[in-house]
Amino acid sequence: MHPLLAPAHTRVMGVVNVTPDSFSDGGRYLAREAAIEHGRWLAAAGADIIDVGGESTRPGAQRIDPVEECERVLGVIEALAADGLAVSVDTIHAHTARAAVDAGALIVNDVSGSLADPAMPSVIAETGALYVAQHLRGTPETMNSLAQYDDVVREVSSELAERVAALTDAGVDPGRIILDPGIGFAKVGAQNWELLAGLGELGELGHPLLVGVSRKRFLGELMPPERAADPSEREAATTALTALLAQVPVWGVRVHDAAAARDAIAAVEELHAATVRRDAR
């Protein structure tokens, strides 16, 4: 078993979005340096894995070319991997996935679960990378219109099982596949809460689970209107969910605030250990 998948506390995956400055090449260099610094800062704050992405996946976001995407992420991945950090690459492109693994990434985090690029499964099989298959319907442009379910947990579960079958048919080791329900990806409002309530059922697929709720829109929907639109206001709700996810337990959480997630998980672990001690009396 890969050490990153071995039984341990819930892993914290810290997010680094590499967005180049549009003003000049100098600005691009600064964006890269800033991204590397941010990755180091997340690791120091307790992130076990640094997730580097060069393409926004927000609803309606513009797609970018894999060559441009590589230019954004590879230098960041190389620098963080050279520091000895566990790095994942957030990409839907097989070309970028292969280049990122060559640059030192251990994990390919694909929000499309390989639906976006038919070459992805064979790249994962060939490189032997760990692979996060996230549930998605359609593309970031179309996903919200496809958020129609009779039973969101059952349907996400069976669609993820289909992704696992496609990956293993291409030669991917099932022991290296992590599954992610894709909170906010082709799910709206209450569908996200139902999925979180149904994680036990998704766990029955037999793969580690990664969950990303951090600062997402569905958390803003709980808040008074004057705070609803600001993602940074969603941190308390994010951290509350991190604690609950650590109790499920899930394998990992993908977050922006690594320190808050690390502390929440440490508190849950401590409480669990105290409960075990008391029960043994």
E strand intervals along 39-83: 49-53
Tell me the closest approach of the beta carbon of residue 49 to ligand PMM, in angstroms.
11
Tell me the closest approach of the beta carbon of residue 278 to ligand PMM, in angstroms.
35
Q: What is the arrangement of strands in the sheet containing 130-134, beginning at the earlier edge strand?
A: 177-180, 130-134, 107-110, 86-90, 49-53, 11-17, 252-255, 210-211
Matching residue, tokens 């506390």: 9
Q: How far apart are the first and last CA of the chain?
A: 34
- Which residues make up the interface to ligand PMM (CB under 6 A)? 15, 17, 57-58, 90, 109, 111, 132, 134, 180, 183, 210, 212, 254
Beta bridge partners of 177: 131
Q: Which is nearer to ligand PMM, 69 or 180 (CB)?
A: 180
Residue number of the CB atom closest to ligand PMM: 212
Tell me the closest approach of the beta carbon of residue 149 to ligand PMM, in angstroms.
18
Return the exposure string of 226-240: e unless at least 16 CB atoms fall within 10 Å of the residue's CB, then b. Answer: eeeeeeebbbebbbe
Q: Which is nearer to ligand PMM, 58 or 277 (CB)?
A: 58
Catalytic residues: 216, 254
Task: Please compute, for residue 39, the number of CA atoms within 13 A of its CA located in the half-sphere on the CB side.
Answer: 30
Q: Which is nearer to ligand PMM, 147 or 272 (CB)?
A: 147
Tell me the closest approach of the beta carbon of residue 104 to ligand PMM, in angstroms.
19
Q: Which is nearer to ligand PMM, 194 or 272 (CB)?
A: 194
Tell me the closest approach of the beta carbon of residue 181 to ligand PMM, in angstroms.
8
Q: Which is nearer to ligand PMM, 99 or 111 (CB)?
A: 111
d(CA 213, CA 102): 29
38 Cβ partners below 8 Å, 6+ apart? 16
